[in-house]
Amino acid sequence: MQRLYGRLIKPVLLTWATMGFMGAQLPVQASIQSLQFFNGDIEPWIRMQSQRSISLLIKNIHPEGSAPGAVVASPSRVNPDYWFHWTRDAALVMQIFVSGYANSKTPEQKNYTTSLLRNYLNFSHANQLTPNPSGGVGEPKFNVDGSAFTGPWGRPQNDGPALRALTFLHWAATLIAEGRINFVREYLYDGQSPSRTVIKADLDYVASRWNEPDFDLWEEVKGRHFHTRMVQRRALLEGARLAELLGDTQTAEWYRLNALTLSRELLRHWNPERRILIANLDVMAGHAVKTSGLDTSVILGVLQGEVGDPFFAPTSDQVVSTAFSLQRAFYNLYSVNRLNDYPGIGIGRYPEDRYDGYQTNGSGNPWFLTTLAFAQYYFRLANLWEKAPGILVSEWNYPLLQYVAEDASFVVGTKIEKGCEDFNKILTGLRKAGDSFLLRVRMHMDQQNGFMSEQFNRDSGFMQGAEHLTWSYASFLTAVWERAKVPTRSLLQRPNTFRK
């Protein structure tokens, strides 16, 4: 039934034309899609698309013509040219294999993920030592043979070293649990200064440079960024734990101290009038205009930067309020979201985006990875609230709670106790909302083969931008693993528990 829609959404286009929606824009506070839409079982499709995503993702690791360990952002070499190893994309993609390593069930799986991770480690180590225009480990991308990319670019991008450190820190957590601490000392964290190992070289850089302005993850704005700072904070806190375990207590203290100051700076990103977290502060260069103040990078920062404490936690009022404002804005902005009552909302980078996947004077579109981040966000909310003693309904989280549990009876100020009817309605509604974003993505991908590019058109729904974007495939897996409650092993958690 669902296959009818395919990539081709002719029925959608017809409705659209006849309803005269062309060019019209609803006011931002306008309605939002209802969740009362589907009952089908999407699990068989999730299983199939997971397999496909893994195979397609693997094709972009060390493809012909690249060095071992290189992860190309996309096989596309012209219009756009994404044939590079981006530090950020690679770290998020390789986290998939860190989880694969931790959860591998056969020796073959373990050997395979080990070899991928070792190649990535060698390539990353070489990147760190390669002289580049940033003059440090914040260089955003390298040529696929590992040589420096010397063209003009928005640099440095300091989320890269933090994300790379996190991926290796999570691998280290499993290696330590397996008793392989010597490997960790030798290749990942040597406790030397200057360091010859990847994690420590990245963390030393983050600890000393986090307050310097840099370019954001979208590579457009120079300033200080919520996403970058959230992942830096997490990297420093997890890094401090590793340093401590390995007896490097002074460094551990230094990382913690910086995480603390950085946290204080992060508070500045909350805008109480707009009730949203602002992505970019102290903007001093770049070309993105963000009059709405909204940016999905905030949600990515929360998901990638969560350490299990209450600080801008996914369930916090500030984050919930930001997420719902984003979702409503994109619902109203992209006509494809309002056609034919198809479930889910396509989410873009930020409403004023003009990068259409080829050039920057077009109009921005929903992206696969941001839409999938919303799926993951809803699953994460469900998983976290499920373990909470109750949910306190506030002015800030009310719109989202009401959205997922339309027929519930709570009002602002209610404490919804664990296990009561409204509590269960919310949990079910959150998971249903998460699934709606998965279904949205399914509608716009190539359903025959499971291909995903970077974006899908805001009006027609057709895919555009870099083909086979590696990060799109990784985001699918990250989202559905959250749905299935697959844990990410980290040094801040007790092993074998889900986000304790």
Q: Which residues are catalytic?
A: 216, 219
Is 360 among the residues that bind ligand NOJ (CB under 6 A)?
yes
- Which of positions 456-495 make contact with ligand NOJ (CB under 6 A)? 471
At 412, is the secondary structure helix, strand, or coil? coil
Provide, rounded to whole angstroms, the least separation between the CB of residue 151 and ligand NOJ: 12
Q: Return the number of other C-beta atoms located less than 10 Å from residue 348's C-beta.
A: 26
Provide, rounded to whole angstroms, the least separation between the CB of residue 357 and ligand NOJ: 9
Taking the least distance from each CB to ligand NOJ, the nearer of 331 and 471 is 471
Residue choice 218, 255, 368, 385 for contact with ligand NOJ (CB under 6 A): 218
Taking the least distance from each CB to ligand NOJ, the nearer of 174 and 453 is 453
Q: How far apart are CA 322 and CA 396, in angstroms?
A: 9
At 20, is the secondary structure helix, strand, or coil? coil
Q: Which residue is nearest to ligand NOJ (CB)?
A: 355
- Choose the stretch contacting ligand NOJ; rule: CB under 6 A; options: 15-23, 131-139, 216-224, 408-416: 216-224
H helical segments located in 181-316: 181-183, 198-209, 226-245, 249-266, 297-305
Q: Taking a C-beta distance cutoff of 8 angstroms, is the pair 377, 471 a contact? A: no
Provide, rounded to whole angstroms, the least separation between the CB of residue 454 and ligand NOJ: 7
Residue with tokens 């499709």: 45
Provide, rounded to whole angstroms, the least separation between the CB of residue 285 and ligand NOJ: 12
Q: How many CA atoms lie within 13 A of 356 on its CB side?
A: 10
- Choose the stretch contacting ligand NOJ; rule: CB under 6 A; options: 93-101, 214-222, 388-396, 414-422: 214-222
Is 79 among the residues that bind ligand NOJ (CB under 6 A)?
no
Q: How far apart are CA 48 and CA 478, in angstroms?
A: 15
Residue choice 71, 73, 439, 443 for contact with ligand NOJ (CB under 6 A): 73
Is 377 among the residues that bind ligand NOJ (CB under 6 A)?
no
- Choose the stretch contacting ligand NOJ; rule: CB under 6 A; options: 16-24, 85-93, 185-193, 240-248: 85-93
Taking the least distance from each CB to ligand NOJ, the nearer of 379 and 473 is 473
- Cis amide leading into 314 (omega within 30): no
Residue choice 190, 202, 204, 220 for contact with ligand NOJ (CB under 6 A): 220
Q: Taking a C-beta distance cutoff of 8 angstroms, is the pair 367, 355 a contact? A: no
- CB neighbours of 74 closer than 8 A, spacing ≥ 6? 60, 80, 82, 83, 453, 454, 466, 467, 468, 469, 470
Residue choice 126, 143, 177, 219 for contact with ligand NOJ (CB under 6 A): 219
In terms of Cα–Cα distance, which of 174, 189, 162 is closest to 259? 162
For residues 86 to 105, the per-residue mask of contacts with ligand NOJ, x marking binding by CB under 6 A and - elsewhere, is: x-xx----------------
Residue choice 217, 303, 404, 438 for contact with ligand NOJ (CB under 6 A): 217
Amino acid of residue 26: L
Taking the least distance from each CB to ligand NOJ, the nearer of 88 and 483 is 88
Q: How far apart are CA 303 and CA 378, in angstroms?
A: 11
Q: Which H helix or E strand runs over 77?
A: none
Provide, rounded to whole angstroms, the least separation between the CB of residue 470 and ligand NOJ: 8
What is the four-CA torsion angle of 453, 342, 373, 350, rounded to 10 degrees?
A: 80
Instruction: Using CB under 6 A, count the residues that bind ligand NOJ.
Output: 12
**Paired residues of 430 in beta bridges:** none
Q: How far apart are CA 270 and CA 247, in angstroms?
A: 37
Chain positions contacting ligand NOJ, by CB under 6 A: 73, 82, 86, 88-89, 217-220, 355, 360, 471
